[in-house]
Amino acid sequence: MLSLQTRFHALSSLMFLCAMAFTLSACRAPSEPALTALKSDDLVEITTNADFIALSPKNMMPKTGFVFYPGGFVDERSYAPLCRDIAAAGFYVAIVPQPLGLAVLAPEKGKIVLDKNKNITTWAIGGHSLGGAMAARLVHQDSTLFRGLVVYASYPDVSNDLSKRTGVKVLSIFGSLDGLATPEKIDENKKYLPASTQYLRLEGGNHAQFGSYGTQNGDKEATMSAAEQQRRIAEATIAFLRSLK
């Protein structure tokens, strides 16, 4: 007869496997344009290793890098179109997948990108939704690693208060029709970001269109096209990264 401890461990393992299966099935898959954007061409070289997807401009050695954390339960490949546009402008971009699709389980994982790219002299980090919040957590833990932080439809909370931090520039981009990180929530949590933070409100933009994975429960319907929303996000991010030099 199995001991109580053995049965407990077996039940715990079963619960973990069930939770993992649910998470994997719940992860939002990338759209066809996102998969197409993962192919190298004359402008961007794309490589994938065990730790991240690297997008680098062809025929140049970028000096500024951008570490990107995906949103919760979103396949990291869903952000390829946005990150590709940023890379094409002359920046090294690394999309960092997270355990079970949750950046909260490994907020320090972005350090791997820095360790493997010593030639990059200036770094920024950012992310979408939960990914942005965890990027802010890493900056809170060690603000010497990054010169810039970009939060897409996201914000830090009181436990990761960056309001008094100096030396780190911040850009916050959000949609007026975001049903999850609503404009009201963005405004409410401004107190945890530096007073110098730049804000970009995308009129007609929503939560899901920061990536390319379809619609999302709880979100509102955008009146701006996904292509236009991502164009404006990339444009603002590129200008922000250039300001870090």
**Domains of the chain, start order:** 4-243 (3.40.50.1820)
pLDDT of residue 28: 79
Q: Could you report the per-residue pLDDT of 104-154, keeping only the tens digit for each?
A: 898 899 999 999 999 999 999 999 999 999 999 999 999 899 999 999 999
pTM, entire model: 0.88
Rounded CA separation 242/244 (Å): 5
> Does residue 96 contact residue 127 with C-beta atoms inside 8 Å?
no
> Does residue 164 contact residue 192 with C-beta atoms inside 8 Å?
no
pLDDT of residue 3: 55
Count Cβ atoms below 10 Å from residue 38 Cβ, excluding itself: 18
pLDDT of residue 179: 97
pLDDT mean over 52-60: 95
pLDDT of residue 26: 57
At 44, give phi and psi (nearest 5°): -135, 135
Q: Please give the helix or strand (H or E) that residue 135 lies within, else none.
A: helix 130-141
pLDDT of residue 13: 41
Q: Identify the residue with better confidence: 24 or 244.
A: 244
